[in-house]
């Protein structure tokens, strides 16, 4: 009998005392089958022939105070979590929510879905040469959910009851309840050696060099200014399919800058090799000049399919002023995105049409057959509480492109406001009691003034007085956590497979829960019913259908004035760098550049 088959049989025997297991093998997916088969050689978005060597100089903002990214106090150095530490499994960047075994060579989900068993790769080793064992996995988990680590980890793995060591290379995560997302969440557990810190309490291991299994080790650092990572010559996973073609630089150095202006000057002076630019103004005005004209620096737009989530002016429906849907719809009509994009953002953005922008989850056109089935079920349960327009073609956000105009949009807004009892008289828009329509936009920083000011001017044409004010960071956070605002800039990160986090943003239970992300105060039994079904979806097509219906219902609630997004990363980089021709779908420049780029051979670009 082959040794690998015997090992599988023995492992199944060990786990059956709790519950029988179904081996997922090399990968595990939230829905459907993994894109890459068990015998895959590498991910499609890497270049396996990329030369290795050279040093990448990249940047970070602010400073850092520690080398332990898992404790609460202080800011950890950038790069640690994807250069030094590794997890049981890793995601690919061209499919949603699939994890491929890394430290774990086999992953088994119990038939009752209440545990996940990992068989560790026998080659997996820490930077000190020790093999990665099941005891190290349990130790890492216990430290991260303990009181000395950041509280976010206890929350993240709150549904994991315990880690149980089966044998030296086998460990089982046991769950408190069924949660189909938990199988991927557990795979993201970072593993480090029990020898890290030499027995110190976990929260005192701030400047002890990590002992982990990643491709790099910390070579040197100057607190708050610079950190350099050196490639581990004995890295265990050089030929692992989830690592082949990656981590090509011999050294990677992060240089820290106090502000974006200093960072830009650092790029021009040759101190760093690349910058991702988030400011449209900086991109249009600063990423140009002699170094670009000479070809020493390259300016590129790199497309992506990252979910944009949602961002917008969120109306706090806990306030009486915003409880009428017609009022909220009217306020959305007052934003002139096309003018803002042209005058403020150099035409670099597109309007966000959805709560799930830039994904297949965004609702478009009329409901399809599967969406209609869900809507009819909701109609049967909730009757006329379900808005009849949800069966019609979904409308894009208001536009001022011809044949539309701001004048027409404001005229429509005035009609909606009149229907809601707001009439212009005595120099202001007033309700039946004569109270003027006025509110405050709460801002976090001066950058938000650029879009808030023209919006306020448009509202003024309706007789609405919107003031805006920048709050101190601590006071701002306190007011956000306690929903003490009229209108605020709010956002939700994008996901290709949204799940439990949606309750925090949109459920009735989170509406009055201090500290929740329900900025708009959504409380709708129809939304609650959809959320309950979304987190139980077993198939990808079922998830997509349910989220599209949720998108339709939320958009017809007019809870926010939608903002804008970009479907491309903006980056300037030195011409000595190269990256794979095949781009991933879902990626960030920060980690994609350090994990898959490489230095061109001598003579193929300018040097420092």
Quick: pLDDT tens for 234-293. Answer: 999 999 999 999 999 999 999 999 988 999 999 999 999 999 998 898 999 999 999 999
* Position 38 confidence tier, pLDDT thresholds 50, 70, 90: very high
Helix (H) or strand (E) holding 4: helix 3-15
Which domains does the chain possess? 3-33+63-214 (3.40.190.10), 222-230+245-305+567-599 (3.40.190.10), 310-398+438-565 (3.10.105.10)
Hey, what long-range contacts does 47-51 have (CB within 8 A, 24 or more apart)? 47/245, 47/580, 47/581, 47/596, 47/598, 48/244, 48/245, 49/245, 50/245, 50/248, 50/578, 50/580, 50/596, 50/598, 51/248, 51/598, 51/599, 51/600, 51/601
CA 104/CA 89 separation, integer angstroms: 6
**DSSP helix/strand/coil, 542:** helix
Q: For position 15, what pLDDT does the model report?
A: 34
Between 250 and 445, name the one with better pLDDT.
Answer: 250
The pLDDT confidence band at residue 4, using thresholds 50, 70 and 90, is very low
How close are the terminal C-alpha atoms of the chain, in Å? 59
Contact 210, 182 (CB under 8 A): no
Least confident of 138-142, 148-152, 186-190, 467-471: 148-152
The whole-model pTM stands at: 0.82
DSSP state of 145: T
CB atoms within 10 A of CB 523: 17
Q: Mind listing the pLDDT tens digit for each residue in 102-143?
A: 999 999 999 999 999 999 999 999 999 999 999 999 999 999
Q: Calculate the alpha carbon distances from 71 to 84, 205, 212 in Å.
A: 16, 9, 16
- β-bridge pairing 226-231 and 216-222: antiparallel
Residue 249: phi and psi, rounded to 5, are -80, 140
Which two three-digit tokens encode residue 74? Answer: 């202080």
Q: Which helix (H) or strand (E) holds 231?
A: strand 226-231
Report the run of H or E that residue 382 belongs to, with start and end. helix 369-382
Residue 176 has pLDDT above 60, yes or no: yes
Residue 210 sits at the vertex; the CA angle it makes with 204 and 212, to the nearest 5 degrees, is 135
In the prediction, which pLDDT does 72 show? 86
Q: 105, 119, 110: which is closest to 16 by C-alpha?
A: 110
Q: Shortest CA distance to 326 belongs to which of 443, 418, 212, 234?
A: 418
Question: In this model, does residue 603 exceed pLDDT 90?
Answer: no
């Amino acid at each position: 009998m082959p040794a690998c088959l015997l090992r599988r049989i023995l492992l199944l025997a060990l786990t059956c005392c709790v519950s029988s297991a179904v081996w997922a093998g090399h990968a595990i997916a939230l829905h459907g089958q993994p894109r890459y088969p068990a015998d895959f050689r590498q991910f499609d978005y890497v270049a396996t022939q990329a030369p290795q060597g050279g040093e990448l100089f990249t940047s970070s903002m602010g400073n850092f105070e520690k080398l332990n990214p898992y404790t609460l106090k202080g800011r950890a150095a950038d790069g640690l979590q994807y250069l030094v530490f590794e997890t049981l499994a890793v995601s690919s960047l061209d499919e949603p929510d699939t994890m491929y075994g890394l430290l774990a060579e086999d992953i088994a989900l119990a038939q009752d879905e209440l545990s996940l068993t990992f068989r560790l790769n026998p080659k997996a080793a820490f930077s000190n040469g020790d093999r990665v064992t099941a005891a190290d996995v349990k130790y890492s988990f216990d430290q991260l959910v303990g009181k000395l680590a950041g509280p976010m980890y206890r929350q993240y793995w709150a549904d994991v009851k315990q880690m149980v060591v089966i044998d030296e290379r086998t460990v089982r995560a046991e769950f408190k309840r069924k949660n189909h997302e938990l199988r991927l969440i557990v795979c993201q557990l970072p593993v480090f050696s029990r020898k890290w810190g030499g027995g110190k309490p976990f929260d005192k291991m701030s400047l002890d060099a990590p002992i982990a299994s990643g491709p790099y080790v910390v070579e040197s650092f100057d607190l708050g200014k610079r950190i350099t990572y050196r490639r581990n010559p004995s890295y265990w996973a050089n030929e692992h399919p989830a690592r082949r073609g990656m981590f090509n630089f011999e050294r990677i150095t992060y240089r820290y800058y106090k502000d974006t202006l200093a960072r830009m000057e650092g790029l021009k002076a040759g101190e760093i090799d690349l910058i991702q630019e988030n400011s449209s103004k900086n991109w249009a005005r600063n990423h140009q000049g002699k170094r670009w004209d000479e070809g020493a620096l390259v300016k590129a737009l790199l497309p992506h399919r990252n979910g944009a989530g949602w961002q917008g002016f969120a109306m706090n429906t806990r306030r009486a002023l915003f409880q009428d849907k017609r009022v909220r719809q009217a306020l959305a009509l007052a934003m002139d995105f096309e003018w803002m994009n042209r005058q403020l953002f150099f035409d670099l953005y597109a309007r966000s049409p959805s709560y799930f922008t830039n994904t297949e989850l965004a609702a478009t056109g009329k409901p399809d057959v599967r969406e209609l089935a869900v809507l009819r079920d909701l109609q049967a349960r909730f009757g006329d509480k379900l808005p009849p327009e949800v069966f019609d073609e979904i409308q894009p956000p208001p536009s001022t492109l011809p044949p539309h105009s701001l004048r027409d949009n404001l005229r429509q807004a005035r009609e909606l406001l009149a229907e809601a009892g707001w009439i212009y008289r005595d120099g202001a828009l007033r309700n039946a009691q004569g109270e003027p329509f006025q509110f405050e936009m709460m801002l976090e920083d001066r950058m938000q003034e650029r879009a808030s000011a023209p919006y306020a001017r448009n509202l003024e044409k309706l007789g609405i007085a919107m003031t805006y004010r920048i709050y101190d960071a601590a006071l701002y956070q306190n007011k956000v956590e306690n929903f003490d605002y009229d209108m605020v800039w709010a956002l939700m990160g994008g996901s290709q497979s949204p799940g439990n986090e949606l309750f925090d943003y949109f459920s009735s239970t989170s509406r009055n829960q201090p500290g929740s992300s329900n900025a708009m105060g959504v409380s709708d039994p129809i939304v609650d019913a959809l959320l309950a079904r979304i987190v139980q979806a077993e198939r990808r097509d079922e998830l997509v259908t349910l989220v599209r219906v949720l998108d339709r219902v939320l958009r017809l609630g007019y809870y926010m004035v939608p903002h804008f997004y970009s479907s491309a990363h903006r980056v300037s980089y030195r011409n000595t760098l190269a990256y794979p021709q095949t781009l991933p779908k879902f990626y960030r420049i920060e980690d994609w550049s350090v994990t898959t780029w490489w230095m061109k051979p001598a003579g193929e670009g300018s040097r420092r």
